[in-house]
Amino acid sequence: MVPSVSSAYVIGERGELKRFSDDGEPGGTAGKPILDVLTGEGICNAAIVVTRYFGGTLLGTGGLVRAYGAAAKAGLAASSVIHKLPGIQLSIATDYTGLGKLQYILGQRGIPLLDTVYTDKVEMKALVTQREAETVKAELTEGTNGQAVLKEGSPCYLAEIDGKMQMV
């Protein structure tokens, strides 16, 4: 017996492209419930594939809809959803007297450090969302009494995975 492999996907930030496949199941009983899970959760740029090995005839159409929807929900619940945010890499240079305050401000905001180099001064690279960049720069400048030298790097995308920011 060949298993049934039903799927759905949503492509684009606003779900510009949505498709599903019932793969031989009765129309709308497999791929559509999977697609409904994706759209209902506001998930984009993702696909879900559900494989059924047994039980289609026994379940009936209503049972298939519930089974495929439940499988898609379970798969999504077991996954990490990545939120893509526009950001910048921020280079920060300061003397050692400002280091503690910078670490405190960045830590309080949950801003990840990519690198820290200790020489006659301290140079750090941090990832900041574009939305919070100006506020963070102002806080860092104020926190070091204007001693920190801040430089914005190239725009990038940050991935928020389980509440933590990473560069993608």
pLDDT digits (tens, 9 = 90+) for 55-103: 667 788 898 999 999 999 999 999 988 888 899 999 999 999 999 999 9
Q: What is the mean pLDDT of residues 41-53?
A: 93
SS3 12: coil
Helix axes 31-40, 56-77, angle to 10 degrees: 20
pLDDT at 52: 85
Mean pLDDT of the chain: 91
What CATH architecture does domain 4-77 belong to? 2-Layer Sandwich (3.30)
Q: What is the CATH number of domain 82-167?
A: 3.30.70.240
Domain range annotation of the chain: 4-77, 82-167
Fill in the DSSP letter of residue 69. Answer: H
The confidence band for 151, taking pLDDT boundaries of 50, 70 and 90, is very high
Half-sphere exposure of 94 (CA within 13 A, CB side): 23
pTM for the full model? 0.69
pLDDT of residue 168: 65
Counting Cβ atoms within 10 Å, is residue 157 exposed (0-12), middle (13-18) or buried (19+)? middle
Q: Chain-centre distance of CA 18, in angstroms?
A: 19
H-helix segments, 2-118 = 31-40, 56-77, 96-109
Q: What is the pLDDT of residues 99-147, one digit of tens each?
A: 999 999 999 998 888 899 999 999 999 999 999 999 999 999 999 999 9
Query: What is the pLDDT at residue 17?
Result: 97
CB atoms within 10 A of CB 164: 9
